[in-house]
Amino acid sequence: MEATLQYYGIRHHGPGSSAALMTALRRQQPDCILIEGPSDAESCIPIVADPKLRPPVAILIYRKKDLSTAAYFPFTSYSPEWQAIQFGLKKKIEIRFMDWPQALQFELADRADKGVQTSLFNNRLDTLNAAELTRDPLQFIARLAGYDDVERWWEVTFEHTGATEIIFPGISKMMHELRATQPAQSLETTFREAYMRTRIRQAIKDGFHNIAVVCGAWHLPALESLDLFSAREDKKLLQGLKTKLKTEAVWIPWSYERMTRAQYGAGMTSPAWYELLHQKKDQAAVYWMAKVAQLLRKKDLDVSSAATIEGIRLANTLSSMRGLAIPGLKELQNAAISVICQGQTEPMRLIYQKLIVGDKIGRVPDSQIISPLQKDLVARIKKARLTKFYNTTEPATKKLDLRVASNMEASILLHQLLLLGIAWGKKNKGPKGQTGSFAEYWRLKWRPDYMMRVIDAGMWGKTIRLASASKALHQLDTLQKPEDIAHLLALCLNSNLPNTSVKVIEKLEDTAALSSDVLSLMETLPPIFQLLKYGSTRSVPEGALRILVEQLAPRIFVLLPIACAGKNDETAREIYAQLIDFHQGLLIWDDAELLESWYRTLFKIMNISTVPDFLLGAILRLCFDKGQLAFDDVVLQMSYALSGMREPLHAVHWLEGFLKGSGLIFVYHQPLWELINQWIQQLSEERFQESLPLLRRAFSAYQPAERRKLLAKAKSKGVGQVEPGQGEGDGVSWELALELLGSMTS
């Protein structure tokens, strides 16, 4: 009995192709289904029957001895191949993948072979643009039909019609005509199609009589025309394509985000919409518009039922005007913008993310966890009690109390994953007013590609701990800047990798010894000061950290004065912020010798004339507040800074720096108050108006209670010995000075 072959040219992930294919398979009732898929992944087919395998998912094929070499083949619930597999498993039909093994693809990539074959047919269509046709034939045919987007053309032509098996002869004829115009095919396509033909012949040889062949539409002409290609020629062509590479195939979770065209070359732009089109074909427009209204209402946007109904009507009208059977996504988007969003395009970003692309993520059964690193990760997740945050589509916030063993385990795991480049968690700052070092706040969101990264990270070790340590040392070899090494050190310390941390510290010591970037060096020490002072619930190499402090601190003291000189006002503020952090770290560490050296360094900075005025004033105030300067010395310095011989703008910048901290210094120190009052009195009205914005900025940082006290003092008669009217003439009047000084503190 001669075998019957039925060919179905489908569009990967096309819901219309899927519906038509199911209709055709139910009518054909084949005894064997051949599907375009890598033949070395056939072990994955039976697992589709497992209810714990929920698309979107992907078959991951990788080398056993080289996990960095891998390929993936995604499926959605509406992918024609997925539907065909489910149909075959339910009917207990033989199912085979007929594409060439991915191992051969890896082999060909290693060889970097390049070449082309001659056309399948001899005739050419010279009047067509051959270059454009060769580059993207479907795009070319879409342009002829008046469409700029090939996806849109395919959707209108094949997805929105009746979606029955009658579309397949038309697709076949179109592909035969297109392939007839092709001058050449890639070497890879040649090999693949030859291999698929051998698989078809093998199915016939194995005794199957009613065979369904499901493949990408482009391959139809090379498979349907079996008589044009002899088995001997195909065998000869493939004879040299043997490989000893061993591959493994496994299902992994995937997501709609990664199904988009930007993420995956054979994907689509609107997975969530296609799912709705597959589930609710005739009512897809109604359901989609209702979902838009529901989504925007959750964001506290006003969307009435009347607007929703009007949006559906407009979409139907647009589809009729454009000759479509049902509204497509373009019509729905136009209607939503016009009616529901009232012409505003901003809400469409949310609609695009949730209802066009979608945030759905798949799941796989535990049986698909095959690498030691995967197994270790799952075990660590359970131990850390993070299971409910694993494989979730929505981000979640998790507070970790590090005094709890499971929370400490979670923190260590999340930091180790960061070392492996798997940013499952992002560490955030705690609420304002939160004190103590026993709480961490994490933003958690798992992405499907993280599992691929876990498999790939298996090259670094068989456990998360070993792999993160090895990856950190590998990364350490590439780092040259102290700030980058310090960041790696912080990760290693938080990852509870003391031995690795010691090696990072040694590299940081060597790099810092050659670095002249003192500001970067200053950033490295404050966290270490705090760690050494209060200790850690993790294993920390305290001895190595103390040596690091002893080596870095003196170098910082030597380089900092030079680094402060000749800077502009903006840079001076950045230096001050780092200087304060370093100063607070030293106070926490409370080493008398280091503090003494630090204050000597600050005095050196104050004696350099080219240091910005803001920084001079801020350092003077810092030393005074910490009891390192006598009050008379402060008055002397302030008298000079606010003298009439200096440009008012320089004086204002100095005063702004000096005002950093508490404003009560003027309440309790009358001589300082008198100095600033006298300085204001001697300003001309024009100069005073120029200086006022900077003064307002300086006073605005104070607490309301401090500002009220300053205002009360300004309104009192105790403004020094200056009498009303004394400042008249070239300067401002006493009344105007009082009024404007009061406005600064309001």
Q: How confident is the model at residue 2 (pLDDT cuts 50, 70, 90)?
A: confident
Please report the pLDDT score of residue 309 as a whole number: 93
Q: What is the dihedral of CA 157, 161, 162, 167, to 10 degrees?
A: -10
The pLDDT of residue 160 is above 70: no
The pLDDT of residue 356 is above 60: yes
Sheet order of strands, 247-253 included? 70-75, 57-63, 247-253
Please report the pLDDT score of residue 679 as a whole number: 64
CA distances from 238 to 36, 104, 195, 223, 321 (A): 18, 10, 7, 16, 52
Question: What is the C-alpha separation between 19 and 417, in angstroms, rounded?
Answer: 42
The pLDDT of residue 723 is above 70: no
Question: What is the C-alpha separation between 400 and 441, in angstroms, rounded?
Answer: 6
The pLDDT of residue 267 is above 70: no
For the record, the structure tokens of 742 come out as 């009061």
Task: Rank 293-302, 405-414, 571-580 by mean pLDDT and report only the highest.
Answer: 405-414
Q: How confident is the model at residue 125 (pLDDT cuts 50, 70, 90)?
A: very low
Query: pLDDT tens across 413-435, in order?
Result: 999 999 999 999 998 877 764 54
Q: Which residue type sits at 669?
A: H
Go through the domains of the chain in sequence order and give each one's CATH number.
4-259 (no CATH), 282-357 (1.10.8), 371-446 (no CATH)
Please report the pLDDT score of residue 646 as a whole number: 67
Report the percentage of the chain scoring pLDDT > 90: 26
Q: Which of 269-273, 373-377, 520-524, 671-675 comes out lowest in average pLDDT?
A: 671-675
Question: What is the C-alpha separation between 272 and 294, in angstroms, rounded?
Answer: 16
305-321 helix and 284-298 helix, angle to the nearest 10 degrees = 140
DSSP for 231-290, please give it.
HHHHHHHHTT------EEEEEEE-BHHHHSTTT-TT--S-HHHHHHHHHSTTTHHHHHHH
Please report the pLDDT score of residue 22 as a whole number: 93
108: number of CA atoms within 13 Å, CB side?
19
Which runs of consecutive H residues, i.e. helices, occur in 477-517? 482-494, 498-514
Contact 736, 714 (CB under 8 A): no
The pLDDT of residue 411 is above 90: yes
Q: How confident is the model at residue 61 (pLDDT cuts 50, 70, 90)?
A: confident
Contact 61, 70 (CB under 8 A): yes
- 420-432 CB burial, b ≥16 within 10 A, e <16: bebebbeeeeeee
Please report the pLDDT score of residue 512 as a whole number: 83
For the record, the structure tokens of 510 come out as 């060597």
Query: pLDDT tens across 329-355, in order?
Result: 888 999 999 998 888 888 888 898 888
- Which residues have a Cβ under 8 Å from the Cβ of 127 and sit 6 or more positions away? none
496 in the Ramachandran plot: left (φ > 0), alpha (ψ -120 to 50) or beta?
left
Task: Rank 131-145, 288-302, 662-676 by mean pLDDT and report only the highest.
Answer: 288-302
287: number of CA atoms within 13 Å, CB side?
15
CA distances from 725 to 302, 688, 735, 738, 744 (A): 61, 17, 8, 12, 21
Please report the pLDDT score of residue 262 as a whole number: 47
How many of the other CB atoms lie within 10 Å of CB of 419? 24
